Amino acid sequence: MRLKIIRRRKMMQATLRSTDEVGKSIKELRGNRSQEEIAAALGCTKMAISQYETGIRMPNDKMKVAIANFFGVTVGSLFFTQG
C-alpha cells in the first residue's frame, strides 16, 4: 500500500511596504547618482524623486514599474513584503 503525501503550499500574501521603507530602498538603489539624473531617466521631476525617497508620497503604479525597471529589480521586491 502506498501512502500519498500531500504537500500544502503556503499561501504568500503580499503587503505594500511603507513609504519610508520604499524611500530608503530607492535612495539606496540610486547610489551616487543624482536625483536629477534619475528624474530625467524616469520622466518625472527631481521633487518627485525627493518625495519618494523621504517617504512623503508613494509613486503611482506606472511610476512603480518605471522605477523597478530602471534599477533592474521587480516591482514586488521594491514595493511589497512577503508574509
Q: What is the domain-level CATH number for residue 58?
A: 1.10.260.40
Whether pLDDT at 14 is above 90: no
Query: For residue range 24-82, what is the model confidence (pLDDT) as tens digits?
Result: 999 999 999 999 999 999 999 999 999 999 999 999 999 999 999 999 999 999 999 87
Beta bridge partners of 81: 15
For the chain, what is the domain count?
1
Residue 45 is predicted with a pLDDT of: 98
* Residue 38 domain-assigned (yes or no): yes
Residue ranges making up the domain that contains 57: 14-82
* Residue 50 domain-assigned (yes or no): yes
- For residues 16 and 38, the model is more confident at 38
Residue 82 main-chain phi, psi, to 5 deg: -100, 135
* Residue 8 domain-assigned (yes or no): no
Residue 81 is predicted with a pLDDT of: 87
* Residue 72 domain-assigned (yes or no): yes
* Residue 5 domain-assigned (yes or no): no
* Residue 2 domain-assigned (yes or no): no
Residues 15 and 27: their CA atoms lie apart, in Å, by 21
pTM for the model: 0.81
Residue 6 is predicted with a pLDDT of: 55
* Residue 7 domain-assigned (yes or no): no
